[in-house]
A and B are shown apart, each in its own frame.
Chain A
Amino acid sequence: MLTDFEKWYFDLRGYFVIKGAVPNEDIKEMISHAESWFDSKNILPDPISSNFDGSAAKLLYNFHYVEKVFERLVLNKNILRFINGIQNGNSRVYDVLLSKSTQQESDTELHSGFEGGFQEPNQQFIIANNNIFASFVNVGVSLVDIPNHLGFTCLPGSHKGNFKIPGDITLYDDPPTVVNVPVNAGDVIVFTPLLRHGARAWTEKYARYTVFMRFIFAK
């Protein structure tokens, strides 16, 4: 279900950007709900729960049970085509969360990255029969435009590494070792959690809203 280019790119880099996967009107509606919920402090509709204790972002959960626009996002065909293409048509949504970062939040430190050896079955990235299979896939849907120097940052190719990742590589290093991935509102970043990744501290005056979803192999 993936094109030759999509397979080649995802294998090479460990992530893929689906441009304009989510309609503008849905993005606007999601931002409106997000602003309302993050401003409402403790009064959140059931079954939404929150975690505002993290240093990098404030988080909300279960909102796709409350507003149809988020349900539509989880079932977005542009996203599911890609995910099912990686998971052999057996995807299961595992986690959905809405993240808000402002200038007050810190960066999300680089984490993950494959360093050789056995792959954990729950986080496999393997190739066979000219196809990719990844048992765990992350999806980040940006609800705002991200400037070129901010947002999702990763070490391309680090999902296929064979050696210990040097500890002195930071979020702010230069390409080709470290790249940040420019996206606009409605763009989707699909990436394997084996990719070493993080996010640079948000410096814009407007908040960064991102919906993160995790898909696992349903079998």
Chain B
Amino acid sequence: MIKMNQIIADYNSLKFETLMSEKENWFFDTHGYMIVKNVITKDEANYLIDKFESWSQLPEEKVPHPLKRSLESTVFQNMHYVDEKYQDLILNHRIMKYVSSILLHNPRLMFSSVIKLTKDQKRKKHPNKNQENKLQKFIEDGNVLLHRDTNGYNYPFESFINPLIGYQVVNGIIHSGYVNVSVTLVDVPDDHGIGLIPGSHKSNFNTPLIESDDPYKEYIQSFELTAGDAIVFVPNLLHTSRKWELDYPRYTIFNRYVFGKYIDEGYSSHAFEEYKDNINDELYELEKKNIHQEKKIVSRLKNIYQNRSNNTLNSA
């Protein structure tokens, strides 16, 4: 008898085990997001805000490389190359537990940014003038502009699963090619901050024009958060940012992680070789494409969560 089989290298996810509980799997699958409370303390959040403000005050030539600052100093990127506390947050195990599981233990940091928003701040304009005019006309009457994060390409139907980004579940395993993590550095009341439509990551139809007397009551879920809380969500979820009307600014760290096996997508901020000594090995590796072995952070997460799970079983 002649047998046939296929060759599969052992670095694949064949023996994948999620670090998420059954209940967490259900919640994330149903809603498309997960709230992780208190990943940093209020003092730590204030420290990160102070760093933001100190960088804002610097003359352009003094901004440490590779920190990238927007013209109005409302957005910084690559903060983790300059400050260790920003590094710690990217590697936070309570966040990475979800990120790594959803990325089938092949996580890669795509970018890290921190955004400041004040109540009188103008929206960033769309680079395309026609598109900008349309957007402006739509939102000036108080309409809500939702979006999904894409890699610049929209498929003919939203139900296509974008191979780089899309959400899917197979045999009880969740996978999304992108995972967004937003961490608020200030308290956010429940009528501010991120608004999202739970379950929309699994929509099978194109998003229609939705008309509602109160979209935030009928459709959009937003959250009362305290400084240091994180939201982990799939970018395929319809989401928006609500108007900030408080006297204090909103500071939000926004990290995106992607499936580590993929090629670069034209973003330049994965890793900065010349500054690699600024970050620790675990983070440096997290920014790199996966080589054929488990990343250090995944091993650390497995040690924390699988050992915890085994200890619970042993003591039961």
Contacts and interface: CB of A to CB of B under 8 A. Distances in A.
A177 B31 contact: yes
A164 B22 contact: yes
Interface residues of A, number: 26
B287 to A, nearest CB: 31
B131 interface: no
B169 interface: yes
Given A12-B197, A163-B172, A158 B203 contact: no
A133 to B, nearest CB: 11
Given A4-B206, A11-B205, A176 B198 contact: yes
Contact of A157 (B172, B198, B210): B198
Given A8-B207, A116-B172, A163-B29, A176 B159 contact: no
Interface in A111-147: 116, 127, 130, 132
A176 B174 CA distance: 20
B101 to A, nearest CB: 13
B293 interface: no
B30 A158 contact: yes
Which of A13, A161, A163 has the most C-beta atoms of chain B within 10 angstroms of its own C-beta?
A: A163
A186 interface: no
B221 to A, nearest CB: 5
A162 B169 contact: yes
B199 A165 contact: no
A156 B22 contact: no
A12 B157 CA distance: 16
Q: Chain A interface secondary structure, helix, strand, loop or mixed?
A: loop
Contact of A156 (B26, B198, B206): B198
A163 B198 contact: no
A54 interface: no
B208 interface: yes
Contacts of A157: 30-31, 198-199, 202
A177 B203 CA distance: 17
Nearest to B204: A127
B215 to A, nearest CB: 13
B202 A4 contact: no
Interface string A155-171: 11110111111100000
B145 to A, nearest CB: 17
A8 B208 contact: yes
Contact of B172 (A12, A156, A160, A162): A162
B100 interface: no
Contacts of B174: 162
A86 to B, nearest CB: 13
Contacts of B197: 12
A8 to B, nearest CB: 4
Given A157-B198, A160-B202, A162-B169, A177 B30 contact: yes
Nearest to B169: A162
A208 interface: no
A8 B203 contact: yes
A41 B26 CA distance: 45
A12 B204 CA distance: 8
Interface in A1-24: 3-5, 7-8, 11-13
B129 interface: no
Interface of A: 3-5, 7-8, 11-13, 116, 127, 130, 132, 155-158, 160-166, 175-177
Interface of B: 22-23, 25-27, 29-31, 157, 159, 169, 172, 174, 197-200, 202-210, 221
20 contacts: A4-B205, A5-B209, A8-B203, A8-B205, A11-B204, A116-B172, A127-B204, A130-B205, A155-B30, A156-B198, A156-B199, A157-B30, A157-B202, A161-B30, A162-B29, A165-B26, A166-B22, A166-B26, A175-B221, A176-B198
A-B CB proximity, top 5 nearest: A157-B199, A163-B26, A162-B169, A127-B204, A4-B208
